[in-house]
Amino acid sequence: MIQKNFSEFKEHPKLLLDKEHHIDITKLTSSSSPLHLMPPHCEDVQSKRSLTKVMFSDFIADSVVIPKENFELITWESRIPPYRRFVNIVSNYDDEMNFHHTENLLLKVHMIVEEAEGRHITNSKMLLQFKKIVDAMYQGYHVLDIIKNSILCKSRPEEQVSSANTISAPTCYVNPFRTSQSSTIRHDQLKSTLDSLETIVSSMTEFVYLLGGCERMSLRPYDTYLYFDNFMFGRQVEKQQVINILLQENLPPFAPTVLPIIGPSRVGKRTLVAHVCNNEIVRSHFSSILHLNGENIMKMECETFTERRDLVVVEFTADTDDDNWKKFYASCTNMGRGSKIIIVSRIEKISRFGTVRPIHLNSLSHEEYSYLFKVLAFGSTNPEEHPQLVSIANELTVLLGGSFITANVFADIFRKNQNVHLWLHVLKKFRNTVQKNFLEFREHPKLLLEKEHHIDITKLASSSSQLRLMPPHCEGYGSKRRLTKVMFSDLIADSVVVPKEDFELVAWESRISPYRRI
């Protein structure tokens, strides 16, 4: 029991009770559900409390049946006047109680996360703590989703097919805490998540206190739109790290600081930089922000850079010669004191040009990605009111494999039409597409595109002729390509006639500057 409390709360049970903190006494008995002992109080023996009373000695000796509800544990009674006794209330946590307790803790954690997202955090240790808080929040939401949707019906919804064009929706939803299958797994997941959240909440006091001293950032309509439309999820820590480096003074001899941002294809590197560059503090700090293509840096004239404090963003799609970089960097010394250079690439070797430690972006965890997708897919609709759709969304996020582009496309379709039959139809088509590519190329479509390999989307488009999707590229709206353009969402929703010739599939369009599309 002592080890359990040290593991859970980092202190001896006596010290916890001294601090008016509950302790876990599950190990003191053979109870199958968690038991939490509240701090003791003293009362008259004649007290009329309605809770069941249990002697502590009987409790430890397993000579009494543990009540299913909360009960009072009598640790000591006086046999001489004044007749008093020490009583601890024991909270008999079952999974349903833990579930609601987890929901309440998540609400508190989410409140702190939203507040922190609106602050300029310069303390690196606070950023590490913030990352832990955010990770715990996403994990918590994910586990609650699993439990909410571990609902067993007579058959899976997508298998209830009455005809080629009709897919029945699930009609029976039962309390997941009253089903036996996987109950142990659910209990362990919930308990682990609750323990993690309780630990996070108990250690947030200093973080919240220091957060109050951080400058508040104004949130403009642009920032709000970019946050949702360009997937600024799970990148708040990295965004703050980039901003902090950009605002620091350069070290002697005061040459421009070079910050590499490295990560695989389509994990949000450009989006992160765009969000940083549109931050009000950053925009007011630099005289101008210049975006360059790494392959063309040698075409830049020295006169391009003035003595003003500028920010230069260079994107490399391929490695470059060290001499070329040295010449380019030498020309950047003409820039004013405090100027900075950000280099963006998926190539790890490019980080050798950095003068500070690189920031690495990886794919979002499944928990973050699942949360992101549901926010985009449901929009202003409350997912709690549509458990069937949530179940479909959860399965689709697994199939999507972490792809931002397809998440945006499918979420756009779902947000416009929150119909169970449509969602199931789209889910079935994408599952068939994933299976088709696994059979043909032995890999998930997302991984194939990352390797610049085409994928088969015939099943996704309900086409009678074979369709191969080439790896995506990014272009401006002014592109003069003559191929017919089709929106990816229209193709999936079967709301467009598939051209007989080659055509361009527009997966994503920016509605704000810089106007780009994939």
What is the C-alpha radius of gyration for the chain, rounded to an integer number of angstroms?
29
pLDDT at 358 (0 to 100): 96
- Residue 484, Cα to own-chain centre: how many angstroms? 36
Checking if the pLDDT of 435 tops 60, the result is: yes
In this structure, the answer to whether residues 192 and 157 fall within a common structural domain is yes
User: CATH no. for residue 271?
Assistant: 3.40.50.300
Burial of 433 (0-12, 13-18, 19+ CB in 10 A): buried
Long-range CB contacts for residues 488-491, cutoff 8 Å, separation at least 24: 488/409, 489/409, 489/410, 489/412, 489/413, 491/457, 491/460, 491/461
Choose between 304 and 36: higher pLDDT. Answer: 36
- Per the domain annotation, does 285 fall within a domain? yes
The answer to whether residues 405 and 495 belong to one domain is yes
Specify if 253 maps to a domain: yes
Task: Please state, for a pLDDT cut of 70, what percent of the chain lies above it.
Answer: 82
Q: How confident is the model at residue 354 (pLDDT cuts 50, 70, 90)?
A: very high
Task: Please check whether residue 51 lies inside any domain of the structure.
Answer: yes
Same domain, 435 and 332: no
Residue 307 has pLDDT above 70, yes or no: yes
284 lies in some domain: yes
> What is the total count of domains within the chain?
4
Given a contact cutoff of 8 angstroms between Cβ atoms, the answer to whether 53 and 45 are in contact is no
Tell whether 409 is covered by a domain: yes
Q: Where among 347, 363, 379 does a domain terminate? A: 363
In a domain, 342, yes or no: yes
Domain containing residue 176:
94-217
Residue after which a domain boundary falls, among 60, 93, 126: 93
Buried b / exposed e along 168-203 (16+ C-beta atoms within 10 A): ebbeeeeebbeeeeeeeebbebbbebbbbbbebbee
Residues 89-143: tens digit of each pLDDT: 776 666 667 788 888 899 999 999 989 988 999 999 999 999 999 999 999 999 8
Q: Examine the pLDDT at 487 and tell me if it is beyond 60.
A: yes
pLDDT value at residue 148: 79
Question: CA 360, CA 297: separation in Å to the nearest integer?
Answer: 23
Q: Which amino acid is at 242?
A: V
Regarding whether 193 and 62 lie in a shared domain, the answer is no
pTM for the model stands at 0.70
3-state secondary structure at position 370:
helix
- 86 DSSP β-pair partners: 42, 76
pLDDT at 165 over 50: no
Pick the residue with more confidence: 312 or 229? 312
Q: Do 343 and 388 lie in a common domain?
A: no
Q: Are 396 and 369 in contact (CB under 8 A)?
A: no
- Other Cβ atoms less than 10 A from the Cβ of 68: the count is 10
pLDDT category of residue 167 using cuts at 50, 70 and 90: very low
Listing DSSP states for 438-461 in one string gives HHHHSS-HHHHHHTT--EE-HHHH
One domain, residues 396 and 437: yes
Residues 444 and 472 in one domain: yes
Could you say which of 167, 189, 217 is where a domain stops? 217
Question: Could you tell me if 343 and 427 lie in one domain?
Answer: no
Neighbours of 91 (CB within 10 A): 15
Q: Is residue 156 part of a domain?
A: yes
Residues 508 and 372 in one domain: yes
- pLDDT attached to residue 515: 64
Residues 6+ apart with CB under 8 A from 152: 174, 179, 181
Task: Kindly report, residue by residue over 390-399, the tens digit of the pLDDT.
Answer: 989 999 999 9
Does residue 229 fall inside a structural domain? no
